[in-house]
A and B are shown apart, each in its own frame.
Chain A
Amino acid sequence: MEWRHKDLLDVTQLSLDEVRHVFETATYFQEINSRPVKKVPTLKGHSVVLFFAEPSTRTKTSFDMAGKRLSCDTFSLAKSSSSLTKGESLKDTVLTLQAMNPDGIVIRHQASGAAKFIADRLDCSVINAGDGRHAHPTQALLDSLTLTQEWGSLEGKTILILGDIAHSRVARSNSYLLTLLGAKVRLCGPRTLLPRYLKDWPVEVVPDLDEAMKGVDAVMCLRLQLERQHDGLLPDLREYSKYYGLGPRHLDIAGKDVKILHPGPLNRGVEICSELADSASSLILDQVASGVAIRMALLFLYLTRKNQ
């Protein structure tokens, strides 16, 4: 398949065939990641800027490692080390980046739409590593790859996304992608953390967690931003973990085969109890491994794309 997209802003840009192609490419790179020497010259001579205006150690490390394993030069531009802290506008950052003439930019930003903002102004590929509450396409792809490799297919599976849906780019991207791959998506969380308008979302909402666990094949826990209590969206963490935190009894409801995912970093004892995070049901570390492979695949596809 010839890759023709310039940017990856959200998974909604990708067709089913394109997602499968990303998976195939990632699976190929997973093999490389299991070799003793995990470096290939595929992207030698290419350079990518990792522009993380909002801190995220794990996503950034994942992209960095993905790039380096393909022999791509990666450069970091973090908020603390850039002039952003001096109040530089995003537009000026874009112009600065453009002048450096990289082949690709990976952007993480706290504003929804920021990835599109810079993609509209740059000639090189832009890969969205999370923009505000909007989208997190690479996370969704790695989540789906992890589950696809676990089960062979997502067709007919039911996946519960649990927690703070309203503020979650992971939930937005995953709802679309899991559905595209044939799964049914269910959402559960307190009403203050669910978007008011879900009509266009391919999901069902089950407010009660015990009820929501019935017949579920996997649960995707979302990280809870602890300050939601102060935003007036939660009474406190104790109540949250009691009614919306994933615990052992939920496994009994869903059945032992249920899989647990979490985009990390975990608040142990808040959105998930510690034993479950470390249990045989947990795919959390598989997600991390898939993440590197997915990002290698994306860097490869976008940086070697055929220009129209």
Chain B
Amino acid sequence: MSNPELVIRNAQWKGGKVDLLVSEGKVLDLIHTSDAAYEGAVEIAADGLNLLPGLTDVHTHLREPGFEYKEDLESGLSAAAHGGFSNIMCMANTSPVNDNGVITDQMLSRAAKVMPDGPRLFPIGALTKKLEGKELSPMHELAESGCVAFSNDGVPVKNTELFRRAVEYASDTGLPVIDHCEDPYLGLGAGMNEGPTSSRNGLAAQPDIAEASQVARDILLAEYLGTSIHLAHISCKKSVDLIRWGKERGVKITAETCPHYLLLTEESAMDYSSMAKVNPPLRTIEDVHAIMDAVSDGTVDMFATDHAPHAAYEKEVEFVIAPCGISGLDTALSLTWSLVSSGELDFDTFIKAWTVNPCATFGLPVNTFSKGDPADFLLFDAQQEWVVEPGTMYSKGKNTPFAGETLKGRVVSHFLGGKKIV
């Protein structure tokens, strides 16, 4: 290979100091810091900064088309770029729903137009037409147009027979199905976990088994069909126990969890704060610990943001009628990094959860800093403290329960395919 065009000098990587050499948008080499001179290369001093591979978010709601007032492709991808995400998978619950190739094409061409330098967008196609849970969507066409997975996220499929057929049909395309696990009746109309807090507050609530019973169903289904299913935003201990059981049996399931399920409990909703209203709801401290353990031992494979932006006026209502969701792209990296700095999560697991595992599961480009990998990387200042001020977030969605909190660690620059995008 040729000489590097770009050299990142003196960055920190796994406790050592390294130089990253980039050529033609790809990693040429990652070496111990040296004094070597590279003729014609652009050099960037990264003293004191950590080198990280660009992250992948497998679960984002970008709202375009249809709900551009909440978020559009430009604001969402901009938040992703600043938040450290090189690859973004966006859910199909737009309006119209992404249930045909034309919508997928439109999303991709819009993204290329408004954010030509990335992050890369990977749409998720609807599992059923209009997400209605009645008819299968044209999955071959969606795959051909560029969808990388199928999901009914937003409106879980009620009919188990149809869900089975959808998983079978999807397997012909070679693409995975992502399931939002929620019993459609046990969870009905509830904005929080059924537990001591909902009991005191007098709020309609859903038990953790609303999620876990569907997780169990999906594991049995995946085993029976011999196909894989990806379980979205896992929130509770019972689900984790079932996933561990399934994996021990050799069932091809993968699972994700979100920063808020590792950092918050149902008590965040004690004051009826609609910012803490998410679906699945925040659970208990036992659940938080169980999910932390499951991430550490690989039972839960990856992180995802479940970035769900809403307009301010939509959230500033009674808890009961507030929409679910947290705007997550701006804060996810710093939030999960706090687990690394506190020693709860080891660095390798962190990297796997945000890059290696999601990319392997969904067949996306990944940077492991091996020769030939896409030069998607971040220079990250692990010492930089910043306060979450919703007004300064890049996402249009300012809905975060972490407002006012001081986080440590922030993206200084973001390179995608060797090109600086932040």
Question: Which single residue of chain A is at the shortest CB-CB distance from B194?
Answer: A196
Contact flag A132-B195 (CB < 8 Å), given A112-B201, A200-B200: no
CB atoms of B195 and A197 under 8 A apart: yes
> Do A197 and B196 touch (CB < 8 A)?
yes
> Contact check: which of A89, A111, A197 meets B319 at CB < 8 Å?
A111
B313-A89 in contact (CB<8A): yes
- Assess the B202–A169 pair: CB atoms within 8 A: yes
Report how far A172 CA is from B201 CA in the complex, Å. Answer: 9
User: Do residues B196 and A200 form an inter-chain contact, with CB atoms below 8 A?
Assistant: yes
Q: Does B169 contact A (CB under 8 A)?
A: no
B112 at the interface (CB under 8 A from A): no
Residue from A112, A172, A195 within 8 A of B272 (CB atoms):
A112
Q: Is the CB of B318 within 8 A of A200?
A: no
Least CB distance from A54 to B in Å reads 12
CA–CA, A133 and B196, complex, Å:
14
Cβ-defined contact, B313 with A113, below 8 A: no
Interface string of B14-39 (1 = CB under 8 A from A): 00000000000000000000000000
Residues of A near B195 (CB, < 8 A) are 197
List CB contacts (< 8 Å) of B306-333 with chain A: 313, 316-321
A196 and B318 within 8 A (CB): no
For chain B, the count of residues having a C-beta within 8 Å of the partner chain is 19
Residues of B within 8 A of A112 (CB): 201-203, 272, 319-320
A112–B196 alpha-carbon span in the complex (Å): 15
A112-B272, A196-B194 given; A201·B317 CB < 8 A: no
The minimal Cβ–Cβ distance linking B101 to chain A, given in whole angstroms, is: 37
- Convert B70-101 into 0s and 1s, putting 1 for each residue whose CB lies closer than 8 angstroms to a CB of A: 00000000000000000000000000000000
The interface bits of chain B over 191-208 (1 if a CB of A lies within 8 angstroms of the residue's CB, else 0) are 000111011111100010
In the bound complex, how far is the Cα of B313 from the Cα of A147, in angstroms? 45
Contact B272 A116 (CB under 8 A): yes
| Nearest Cβ on chain A to B51's Cβ, whole angstroms | 44
B243 → chain A closest CB, angstroms = 25
Interface size of A in residues (CB-CB distance below 8 Å):
24
**Most B-side CB within 10 Å, residue of A113, A114, A201:** A113
- Interface 1/0 per residue, A89-102 and B, CB below 8 Å: 11100000000000
Binary A-proximity of B285-297 (CB < 8 A = 1, otherwise 0): 0000000000000
Q: Does A199 contact B (CB under 8 A)?
A: yes
Asked if A198 is at the interface (CB within 8 A of a chain B CB), the reply is yes
Which residue on chain B has the smallest CB distance to residue A132?
A: B202
For window 231-261 of A, CB contacts with B under 8 Å fall at none
B318 → chain A closest CB, angstroms: 4
Given contacts A113-B272, A116-B272, contact A89 B198 (CB under 8 A): no
Which secondary structure characterizes the binding site on chain A? loop
B271 at the interface (CB under 8 A from A): yes
* A196:B199 contact, CB within 8 angstroms: yes
Q: Are B318 and A201 in contact (CB under 8 A)?
A: no
Contact residue among A91, A111, A113, A195 (Cβ-Cβ distance under 8 Å from B199): A195
Distance, CA A196 to CA B205, complexed state (A): 10
CB under 8 Å from chain B, chain A span 2-49: none
- Chain A positions within 8 Å of B196 at CB level: 197, 199-200
Q: Which of B199, B271, B318, B321 has the most CB of A within 10 A?
A: B318
A194 to chain B, nearest CB (A): 10
Given A113-B272, A117-B272 in contact, is the A197-B199 Cβ separation under 8 Å? Answer: yes
Whether B194 lies near A197 (C-beta < 8 A) is: yes
Which residues of B lie under 8 Å from residue A186 when comparing CB positions?
none
* A61 CA to B194 CA, complexed, in Å: 35
CB distance from B345 to the nearest CB of A (A): 30
Residues of A within 8 A of B198 (CB): 197
Of chain B, the residue at the smallest CB distance from A111 is: B318
A134 is an interface residue with CB less than 8 A from chain B: yes
Separation of A109 and B203 alpha carbons in the complex (Å): 13
- Residues of chain A within 8 A of B201, CB atoms compared: 112-113, 134
Closest chain B CB from A166 CB (angstroms):
9
Q: Give the CA-CA distance A179 to B203 in the complex, in Å.
A: 23
Q: Nearest chain-B residue to A196 (Cβ)?
A: B194
Task: Collect the chain B residues with CB atoms within 8 Å of residue A133's CB.
Answer: 202-203
User: Is A72 interfacial (CB 8 A cutoff)?
Assistant: no
A-B pairs with beta carbons under 8 Å apart, 21 shown: A89-B313, A89-B317, A90-B317, A112-B201, A112-B272, A113-B271, A113-B319, A114-B318, A117-B272, A132-B202, A132-B320, A133-B202, A134-B202, A135-B202, A169-B202, A196-B194, A197-B195, A197-B198, A198-B199, A199-B196, A200-B200
Top 6 A-B pairs, shortest CB-CB distance: A113-B272, A133-B202, A111-B318, A134-B202, A197-B199, A195-B199
Interface residues of chain B, those whose CB is within 8 Å of chain A, are 194-196, 198-203, 207, 271-272, 313, 316-321
**A197-B196, A199-B196 known; 9 other A-B pairs, CB under 8 Å?**
A90-B317, A91-B316, A111-B318, A112-B202, A113-B318, A113-B319, A117-B318, A172-B202, A196-B194
